[in-house]
Structure formats: C-alpha cells, structure tokens
A and B are shown apart, each in its own frame.
Chain A
Amino acid sequence: MTPRTLIPLAIFLLLVGLLYAGLHLNPREIPSPLIGRPAPEFSLPRVEDTGQTFSREDLLGKITLVNAWASWCVSCRAEHDMLMRIARDGRVVLYGINYKDELADARRYLARLGNPYRASGHDLSGSVGIDWGVIATPETFLVDPRGIIRYKHTGPLTAQVWREKLVPLIERIRAESGTAQERQG
C-alpha cells in the first residue's frame, strides 16, 4: 500500500462524507433574507372579526410570534398543540396570518382546536404571505418589540425548536430591551 494507491480511497471517503452530511440537510430550510429586517407593512381583516384589522402596528412593543397557518394545512394541525402551549406560556404573544383560507374554514378550525392567537389576519389572496416570504405553511417568525424579524422557523414548531432556538432568542431580546419591558410593566 503506497500513499498513491490510497488516493482513490481518500476521494471515495470524502464523497461519502459529503453525501452523509447532505442526508441531514433540510432543503426546505431556505435562509430568509427577512431576518434582521423590519417586518413588512401589512393590514388584514381579522379572522375573528373582519370589521377589525390586524397590522404591523399590533406587533410593536412586545415580543411576538407570527405564525402562517391554514385550515387545509396538515402540518399546522401537527403543531397546533405546541402553539396552544406557547400561548399559555405567555413569554410571547402569538399572532396568525391565515394563509389562502376560506373564512368559514378558518373559524371552524379555531373553534374546534382552540385559538392560540391574539389575532389572525385573513390573507385570502396570499399576498401578505408573499411579502413575508412564506413558502409553505406552517412558518413561524419571531419578531422583537421594535418590529424586527429575528428568526424564522419553517415547518411544524416542535417543543425542541421552542426550547433550543426560540426561548434562548426570546431571553436575549428581553435582555436587549429590558428597560423598555420594565417601563411597560
């Protein structure tokens, strides 16, 4: 075995390593260019009461989770229990963007499974979804009190994502804006 005969083996092992790493990548996790940027301006009628609006102003002054959901979205149901737990936890306020959904379906869904959102905007055409860069529901954005998007999670929100990604970031945002939070009481 001379070093030269080992070259093909080395190349092979390198390839195996690359392919193995590739197995654990999620092609759905496309880095969002919106992170670190202000949440887009929008104004939508609320699912709960279409006479009222849900807009960017509602997100300011507190840490919020904005969750794009739909009644027809199976993965949204999978994460719904987790959203209910987060709503009870109280560290963030949950808002929804009800994406390309019939109003009646959306209301029925919330009535049946519970409503974790302070409000959901009814985005019938999906155009607000486009402004938020929503690719496929469910997607969840963490927005800080200044209205800056700090994190995006694609796919169902799990206890692990909440614990390992969102909570540490929420703590950091709280530390950053500690004085602002205190003033609010």
Chain B
Amino acid sequence: MTGRLAGFVFALAVAAVAGPAWAIVEGRDVQPQDFRSEAEKQRFRHLIKDLRCTVCQNQNLADSNAALARDLRRRILDQIQAGKSDQEIIDFLVARYGDFVLYRPPFKRSTWFLWLGPFLFFLVAAAILVAIIRRRGAATAALSAEERARLDAALRRAARDRSAS
C-alpha cells in the first residue's frame, strides 16, 4: 500500500517536473468549412447530440472538448461523408464503447427497468393514492345508525335556523 502511494507521489513529482514537455497530441476538430452541405451539418449535429462522451461521461459529444470527443466527432463526420447511415455510425460506436455511448439506450433485458421504472413508480403511487381515497370513502360510508340519526338531526336544525332568519 505504501509502495503504491510512494509510486503515485513519484509519478506526480515526475509529471510536475516534466509536465510541460509531455503533452497529448491533439487531433484536428471538425471545422465549419468541413461540411459539404447544410443537410450534412444538421445530420452531424443531430448525431452528436445524442451520443455520450465516454471520457467526461456527463457531456454529450457535441459539448465535450475532450481529445477523444474531438477524434470521435472527426470520425463521425468522416463516416457521414463516406456515405454511412446514422444507424451504421451508431453501431460503429456501440461496438467499441457499448450502449454507454447512447443517451437513448435501446430497450432490452438489461435496460427494461431504466425505461419502465418511472411508469412502475407512477403505478405504485397511483395504487397507494386509490387505496387511501377508498379507505376514506369507506370510513364515511360506515356511519352507524346512531351517527346517522345525529347527523339528520343536525341537518334539520340547520335548515330550521336558516328558514327562521
């Protein structure tokens, strides 16, 4: 454990000393002039909106500035220009990164709860609500004969008071 910690501290120290010299090779991002038509641009935008950046995880490919996101955007545009369909491009990404790249995961055995969960919760809540309302209804229906007599008397008194005034 201490060896691992020491190794990590060493790595940080080395990185701090040698940091500026070692840098990731940045790929060229997709530029506006790369689009051959407005339709192509719309298709590209539509695709990257629903694809997740796997590095940053809570951003889509459109918003992310990570090096991998740039490379993937480039790759996606290349595939659009090579005449690939949207589904082929999505399949390409899913084959490498899994359903995780999709912000709209497909409906299957491992995702049914994700899709149906909210509706199940809603049904449970609705069932509880109905049960509560039923119970309250039952409570009013179950007036005893004596209670009913008192209620009738009270109502008669109220009606008399109103006609008297």
Contacts and interface: CB of A to CB of B under 8 A. Distances in A.
Contacts of B21: 105
Interface of A: 27, 30-34, 70-72, 74-75, 77-78, 80-81, 100-102, 105, 109, 124-127, 130-133, 135-136, 158-159
B95 to A, nearest CB: 6
Contacts of A135: 54-55, 68, 97
Contacts of A126: 25, 27, 67-68, 71
Interface stretch (B6-14, B111-119, B138-146): B6-14
Nearest to A76: B11
Given A34-B96, A130-B72, A133-B96, A74 B67 contact: no
Contacts of A124: 25
A126 B7 CA distance: 27
B105 interface: no
Contact of A127 (B23, B24, B54, B71): B71
Given A135-B97, A136-B55, A158-B4, A78 B11 contact: yes
A130 B71 contact: yes
B15 interface: yes
Interface in B64-123: 67-68, 71-72, 75, 94-98, 100
Given A30-B100, A131-B96, A136-B55, A72 B71 contact: no
Nearest to B72: A130
Interface in B38-64: 54-55, 57
A72 B24 contact: yes
Nearest to B97: A133
Nearest to B71: A126
Given A77-B14, A124-B25, A32 B98 contact: yes
Contacts of A102: 23, 25
Contacts of B67: 100, 126
7 contacts: A33-B95, A72-B23, A78-B11, A102-B23, A130-B71, A133-B96, A135-B68
| Closest A-B pairs by Cβ, 5 of them | A77-B11, A133-B96, A72-B22, A33-B98, A100-B25
B14 A27 contact: no
Contacts of A101: 24-25
Given A101-B25, A158-B4, A30 B98 contact: yes
A30 B53 CA distance: 12
Contacts of B23: 72, 102, 105
